[in-house]
Amino acid sequence: MKKLTGLQWFNLILFGLMGQIAWAVENMYFNTFLYNSVYGGASQTTVDGAINVMDAISRMVAFSAVAAVVTTFIMGILSDRVNTRKWFISIGYILWGIVTAAFSLISRDNVAALFHLSDEIKILNATVTAVIVMDCIMTFMGSTSNDSAFNAWVTDTSSSENRATVESVLSLLPVFAMVIVMAMGGLVGSVGYPVFFASLGGFVSLCGIVGIFTIKDNREGKAVSERQSFIKEFIYGFRPSVIKKNRGLYLSLLAIFIFNTAYQVFFPYIFIYLQHKLDFTMDKLIAGLTPITIVIGLIVVIAAVALIISMGKLMDKFGKDKFIYISVAFFVIGLVITGFQKTLGGFAIGAAVTLIGYGLLMILLGASIRDFTPEDKTGMFQGIRMIFVVMLPMIIGPIIGKEICRISEITYTNEYGVVQAAPGSVMFFAAAVVGIFILLPVAFLKKQGLKK
C-alpha cells in the first residue's frame, strides 16, 4: 500500500482540520449569531416586521452553497490550468481568515451608522443582508482554498490503495472541529461574538502562512488533459457522454448528495434545538465536568478515533462495497433514536450511533469520489463535486428541516420578551427518511463494483 509522507500527513491534518473548524463556525455559529445577536434585543414589533429569522438562516445557507459551487468550479479549473494547488491553498487560507475576522465588526449599530439608517426594521433587515453577503465572501475564500485546491491536492496526493485510510482521517476532522468549536463557543458567552470571530480568523490566516513553507504540489507524474476553452471546461462535467463515461463517479456523487441532504435537514438548527429544547449550553457542560467524566470522555474519543481509522484501513484491505449497507443502517437508525430522546443523555446515545454511520459514509463515499475522478481533470471536477456535496444539500436540506419543523412549531420567549420559533425533534425523523434513499444509488454502485 502506498504511504503518505510525514509532511503530507501534517498538511492534510492541519489544513483539513482548520478548514473544518472554519466551516463549522459558519454552519453552527453564524446561525446562532443571527439568531441571538442580530435578532436578539430587537423589539417584538421589529422582529415581526423584518425578515423571519428561520427564513434568514435558510437563505444564508442557500446563498453560501451557491457561492461555494461557483467558486469551486472557477478556481478548480484555474488550479488545473496553472497546474498547482499550493498557492491557492496558502493565500486562500490567509484571506479566508481575514474575512472571518471581519464578522466581528457586524452589528445593528454599526450597520445603522454605516448606511445612515434610523428605522429599526430597516436596520435589522440591512444587518441580516450584511451577514449573508459577508458569508458569501467568506465562502468564496474558503471554497477557493479548501473545497477546490485542498480537495484536489488530497486527490493528487493519495491513491486508490490508501484513500479509505485518508478519508477515515478526513472524516474525523469535522467531528474534532465540532468539538473544538463547541469549546471555543464558551468564548461567545464570556467575551462575545466579535472576539470569537476575530480569534478564529487569526488562526485560519496563520495556517495559510504555514502552508507557504510546508505544502508541496503533487502533480508530478499525473496526467494533464489537453486544455480547452474555459467555458467548455466549465460545462464539461454536465455532458451526457461524460456522465456515461464516468458512471461510478456520478453514482457516488448522487449517493453523497442524498446523504448530505439528510444531514442538512437538521444540522443548521441543531444548536438552537439543543439550547431551547434540551436546555444545553457550553457553560452547563463545562460546569458539569469532573475528573471522572473527562477521563471517560477521553477514552470514548480515543476508541472512536481508533474505530474509524481501523474501518478505513479495512475498507482499503477488503473493499469498500462490503461496508455500504451497514454504514447507511447506522446513520438512519441513529437519527431515529435521536429523534425519540427527551434528555441530553439519550440524545448523546442517538448522536453517537448517528456519528458512526456519518463517519463510515464519509469514508466510503469520499474515497469513491476520489477513486472515480479522472486524474487529469481533478480540479475541473471539484465544481461538479460541490454541486452534489454542498450546494444542492445545503439548499434542499434546510428547507425540508424548516418546513417540517413548522408542522409542529415550538415557540419560546427569549430574555428580551420576544416570542421566537425553535426547531423540534421531528427534523431528525425527516432526516432519517431522506437517508433511506441513499440505498438506491449505492445499490447500483455496489453492483458496478467499487475500487479497492
Phi, psi of 280 (to 5 degrees): -105, 130
Give the CA-trace dihedral at 131, 137, 143, 145, to 10 degrees.
-120
For 183, residues 6+ apart whose C-beta sits below 8 A from its C-beta are 282
335 grid coordinates: 437519527
In the chain, the percentage of residues whose pLDDT exceeds 90 is: 25
User: In angstroms, what CA-CA distances link 261 with 16, 61, 323, 399?
Assistant: 22, 12, 21, 10
pLDDT (tens digit per residue) in 167-204: 888 888 887 887 787 777 666 767 778 888 888 899 99
At residue 409 the predicted structure's pLDDT band, cuts being 50, 70 and 90, is low
Q: How far is CA 223 from the centre of its chain?
A: 30
Residue with cell 510546508: 214
300 grid coordinates: 470514548
Greater model confidence, 407 or 381? 381
Of 323, 448, 385, 328, nearest in space to 154 by CA: 385
Task: Please spell the DSSP secondary structure of 20-89, one letter per residue.
Answer: HHHHHIIIIIHHHIIIIIISTT--HHHHHHS--HHHHHHHHHHHHHHHHHHHHHHHHHHHHHTT--HHHH
pLDDT of residue 452: 44
Q: Which helix (H) or strand (E) element contains residue 422?
A: strand 419-422
At residue 317 the predicted structure's pLDDT band, cuts being 50, 70 and 90, is confident
pLDDT (tens digit per residue) in 224-242: 556 667 778 778 888 899 8
At 258, is the secondary structure helix, strand, or coil?
helix
Give the strand pairing for 410-413 and 419-422: antiparallel
Phi, psi of 187 (to 5 degrees): -65, -30
Spatial distance between the Cα atoms of 81 and 232, rounded to a whole number of angstroms: 13
Determine contact, residues 215/93, Cβ cutoff 8 Å. Answer: no
Predicted model pTM: 0.76
Determine contact, residues 371/160, Cβ cutoff 8 Å. Answer: yes
**Does 291 score more than 50 pLDDT?**
yes
Q: Which helix (H) or strand (E) element contains residue 412?
A: strand 410-413
